[in-house]
Structure 1
Amino acid sequence: MSKRLLAAVVTVMLAATGCGAGQDSADGPKTLKLWHYEPPESAMGVAWAEAIKQFEASHPGVKVAFEEKGFEQIQKTAPMVLNSKDAPDILEYNKGNATAGLLSKQGLLTDLTDEVAKRGWDKVLGPSIQNTARYDESGVMGSGKWFGVPNYAEYVKVFYNKDMFAQRGIEPPATIEQLTAAMDKFVAAGVTPLAVAGAEYPAHQLMYQLALTKADRGWVDRYQRYTGKVDFHDAAWTYGATTFADWVAKGYLGKDTAGLKAEDMGTSFIQGKYPIMVSGSWWYGRLASGVKNFQWGSVPWPGMTSGSAGNMWVVPKGAKNKDLAADFIAITLSQPIQDKLRDAGGVPVVTGATPPADPRLKDLVDNFTTLSNEDKLAFYPDWPAPGYYDVLVSAVQKLITGTATPSQALDELVKPYAENLANLGK
């Protein structure tokens, strides 16, 4: 770790323990109302539970009132709840134009720019991590004011069942061609290769992953940051949709996956029913604790991949305890909490000097560092427009069931995207 980064981390840790303590004076005991949607057994759930303990220990008389919310629940109700007296002091929220960007544009989030500078968070978090924390006046990410603080990182990669690969003499795939060849061998042996879920994010992320193999940074920025015209029938989008439909036709994934959710996908891979799962680093902790009967590993997705800083802490505009919220954020960015997150299977945004002991975990962290340094993080396909998540789910489900052609599925992406641009005056 460089001296500059070490100094910044020390600043963060000092800020975590210095401000806001002893809030049980004239006003009586205080409560920090916290919402997040990380399961207790997940890396982030483990880390935030420890952060709560440290917060309460360093803030006598202040209690954390934590409520676990569902991801979909917060996604759909945040604009209404944050504009009411029931708003929390701090909550975990999804990043991107369609979520945090929209709330910042609506005036529902606190501008954290001065707090970030005061506590040195802009020195701790690298440029690629900052992209998803900053939004301009139109709610477009990548520049402008800080409306959130990322607390972990994530990216999509290829998880595989080492035993099933070894039984058929298949090497871990490093290219799309090798991945396709591996899946052909599994299909020939009567094994469906891919664990997929069409009713939630996994299937449309996979289609986007395929498009990314033909994309570059300019393509991503045009789509995600509105830097130029988007053609949903260009070579990359067409390859993504056509190849996805082709994979369905070849039996790489089952048509019954159209109705499955992400949890179904992950559970089936953990049970050893499928040899391959293309999904996010957020599954690492579940796999490490849940897989009992086989060896597993992971390899990077070839080329650019979905990924970014993870979800982030935001402070509602009407929060009653903004100083305490900032103190809690500082604790989650401290080295002990970031190391705890890492050791539980998460990807930290603050990297310590001592690497993890588990080689799989070291690869998980090192791969993200490489992707970030090489500018290969392409965010996520549902970010550009409000409600786009449901649009993508529907379109890709139709590719799985065969009720739409690749061209027809891509047609469904055009209108909502254009309407969002019109709303932004672009």
Structure 2
Amino acid sequence: MKRRFLPVLVLALLFPSFLFAQGGKEAGSVPASQKDVTVSIMSTWSGDSPGSVIFRNKLSEIDAADNGIKVDQEMIGDETSYYNKLRTRFATGEFPNIFEDFGGARSYDYVKSGVLVDLRPYLDADPQWANDFMNVIEDWEYSDYPGSVYGVPTAFYVVGIFYNKAIFAKLGLEPPKTIEEFTAVCDKLLAAGYIPMPLGEKDSYRAGHLLNNLVLKAYGSEAVTALGNRTLAYDDPKMIRLYKMISDFNKKGYFGPNAINKDNSMARTDFHAGKSAMQFDGTWYLGTAAKCAIADDMGFIPFPTIDPAFAGSWQGGNNGGLSVVNTGDKQAIDKAVQVVKALTNSEFAKAQQAVNGGGIYPVKFTSDTSKVSAISIEVSKALDTSKEFRTDIQNYDINTKMLETVRMALQGLFVGKTPEQCAQEIMTVVNAGN
């Protein structure tokens, strides 16, 4: 009994309005006389991309079925707005039953607070569901809580560079394999009147992803661990070298004019219109890429190597998943898990592949090759060079606030701050222990 009710007591202490929510007026608690249990879900699946649409349609299908579940969807596409709203909802006790997150350091505070349901008993009770997952559930496992699992993945990804083969052929360019070749290609593209690779830094995660790739290609996954445990400092010359690379690329115009004023959607628009030659992006882009105007001319390459020893180090892995909130209401929790299963099983992943025209997924299934796009095939071939994957490097950090800290500091490089100032801004948070 103590194990069951402890999370409720913790929530009541953390969020006073939690007790009010238990009275049945907030999402996740319904009168016993009501036939359907309301399961609220918060995620970033807004917009009209094929990947987002199929998730919303699946939730609508669950809502319409005779299963005792009423689904309440709240979709917020902008990542910063989404996390701000999520934190607000938890702080006020208006928590969802299910929410999207990335595990690792980002979810650890919720785990420590007893907010999340341990999904291990549900996975053990359904071996088919459990065994279909690839080895990315580990992002929701924590050494402080051995044997427990506090979320499951909905997406798997890698990041690389999509490029316009027609533009490259017109200018006699070869796709760059090294960072030196990358700069030479960008210089030639600029001279020919093209934006080499618009970044869309209005979305702060863009420079964050760029730094991830620079770290991995320069120093490998050991540097990710070292940054996380503080044996490598964010103001170390090795890191300042990479901030300077980002700053220099921006000043040269590789990311387009006023990169800070364009988001990634605008960057993609430039790429699709033939104004730019390369699009730095993740495989969540595959569905849109396969249906865009230049799909037949699109290729894909790994991010260029800085140190040849780390050519096989890629940004990739879990690209989001779902956790269930421990409301103390067993019926609501069971129904929430039922929804999570429907969104993470192999059957649904296969349906996603069909609408996206390919892609990479966190569960195992037999692909329908007739529905896989040419660009997805190129990504799969490029993956043959991969040896190790790491997601956002701050996901491995001892400080759960580092992701936002680093991204905000990197944005300063696009408004005149120096690499040294960027490093100092990060280290201020590190040294404060916040």
- TM-score by length of structure 2 reads 0.79
Q: 1:56 to 1:204 in 2, by over 3 A?
A: closer
Question: Is the 1:95–1:310 contact (alpha carbons within 8 Å) kept by the matching residues of 2?
Answer: no
Letter in 2 for 1:313: L
Letter in 1 for 2:69: V
SS at match of 2:249: helix
Aligned to 2:362: 349
SS at match of 1:60: coil
Letter in 2 for 1:187: L
Q: Which moved more, 1:101-110 or 1:361-370?
A: 361-370
Report how far residue 109 of structure 1 moved. Answer: 1.7
Aligned to 2:221: 217
How many angstroms apart in 2 are the aligned matches of 1:231 and 1:269? 36
Question: Is the 1:210–1:244 contact (alpha carbons within 8 Å) kept by the matching residues of 2?
Answer: no
Q: 1:191 to 1:309 in 2, by over 3 A?
A: same
Aligned to 2:391: 379
1:25-64 to 2 correspondence within 5 Å? 27-52=34-59, 55-56=62-63, 59-64=66-71
Aligned to 1:395: 409
How many angstroms apart in 2 are the aligned matches of 1:256 and 1:125? 42
Q: Size of the alignment, in residue pairs?
A: 387
How many angstroms apart in 1 are the aligned matches of 2:374 and 2:265? 26
Q: 1:281 to 1:136 in 2, by over 3 A?
A: same
How many angstroms apart in 2 are the aligned matches of 1:25 and 1:318? 15
SS at match of 1:109: coil
Letter in 2 for 1:73: S
Show CA shifts across 1:226-266 (max 9, x none): 3x522224454233112222222333223511232222222
How many angstroms apart in 2 are the aligned matches of 1:207 and 1:85? 36
How many angstroms apart in 2 are the aligned matches of 1:369 and 1:149? 26
Q: Is residue 2:146 matched to residue 1:117? A: no
* Structure 1: 5+ residue stretches without partners: 1-22
Question: Is the 2:176–2:185 contact (alpha carbons within 8 Å) kept by the matching residues of 1?
Answer: yes
How many angstroms apart in 1 are the aligned matches of 2:70 and 2:268? 35
What is the RMSD of the two structures over their aligned residues, measured on CA atoms?
A: 2.9
1:62-81 to 2 correspondence within 5 Å? 62-70=69-77, 71-81=79-89
Letter in 1 for 2:412: K
Aligned to 1:92: 100
How many angstroms apart in 2 are the aligned matches of 1:30 and 1:368? 43
How many angstroms apart in 1 are the aligned matches of 2:47 and 2:352? 12
Aligned to 2:246: 244
How many angstroms apart in 2 are the aligned matches of 1:82 and 1:370? 42
Question: Is the 1:89–1:316 contact (alpha carbons within 8 Å) kept by the matching residues of 2?
Answer: yes
How many angstroms apart in 1 are the aligned matches of 2:191 and 2:157? 34
Question: Is the 2:413–2:422 contact (alpha carbons within 8 Å) kept by the matching residues of 1?
Answer: yes
Aligned to 2:210: 206
Q: Is residue 2:407 matched to residue 1:404? A: no
Aligned to 1:296: 298
How many angstroms apart in 2 are the aligned matches of 1:315 and 1:366? 36
* Structure 2: 5+ residue stretches without partners: 1-29, 305-310
Aligned to 1:416: 429
Report how far residue 310 of structure 1 moved. Answer: 1.2
How many angstroms apart in 1 are the aligned matches of 2:255 and 2:36? 55
Show CA shifts across 1:203-236 (max 9, x none): 2321332232211222112224x3x522224454
Report how far residue 380 of structure 1 moved. Answer: 1.0
Q: 1:417 to 1:279 in 2, by over 3 A?
A: farther
